[in-house]
Amino acid sequence: MSCCLVKLLPKVTLQLAASGIRLTKQREEVFAMLLQNSDHPTAAELFLRAKRRVPSISLATIYNCLEALVDSGLVKEVNLGRAPTRYCANLLEHSHFYCESCRAISDVETPFGGAWNLPPGFVVSQAEVSLRGLCPRCHQKEKQ
């Protein structure tokens, strides 16, 4: 178990508890995977990875764990078009950039810090910015 996770566990437990949710082995495993590897995996990808450590785990459990973690605010969903939902344990406010060449998803700063500049009266409770195009590396390659 990573040092980073160990340090976070009390916080995680508390944050789950605040939503009346227990920290189970499966939830810890899912959260640990998201911390360890910030490549924005899908539920199916997490399922494959999790089976290596908890062979009896089921895909439904992955979905349950993700739902619990999202509800408690420990994990964020990432939706890019209609592709399968991806998940992310980076809780700092940020947005996502999908590279059409290498298919990697980069965390990028939310433009203008989320000052949406809407007409008066709109109240924003949640925002999702999905950008797609070329990441710096692929853009560089393409120029050559």
Partner DNA sequence: TCCTATTTTAGAATTATTCCTAATATTATT
Partner DNA sequence: AATAATATTAGGAATAATTCTAAAATAGGA
User: Where along the sequence are the contacts to a copy of itself (CB under 8 A)?
Assistant: 77, 79, 81-82, 85, 97, 100, 106, 108-109, 111-112, 115-137, 139-140
130 touches which of DNA, a copy of itself, none (CB within 5 to 8 A by kind)?
A: a copy of itself
127 touches which of DNA, a copy of itself, none (CB within 5 to 8 A by kind)?
A: a copy of itself
By CB under 7 A, residue 59 contacts DNA: yes
Report in angstroms the alpha-carbon separations of 47 from 1, 42, 120: 18, 9, 44
Q: Specify the DSSP class assigned to residue 92.
A: S
- Restricting to residues 91-110, which ones interact with DNA according to CB under 7 A? none
In DSSP terms, 107 is beta-bridged to: 96
141 touches which of DNA, a copy of itself, none (CB within 5 to 8 A by kind)?
A: none
Cβ proximity to DNA, 51 vs 138, nearer residue:
51
Q: Convert 22-31 to b/e letters by CB count within 10 Å (16 or more is b).
A: ebeebbbbbb
Work out the number of other CB atoms within 10 angstroms of the CB of residue 80.
17
Q: Is 62 helix (H, G, I), strand (E, B) or coil?
A: helix
Cβ proximity to a copy of itself, 18 vs 108, nearer residue:
108
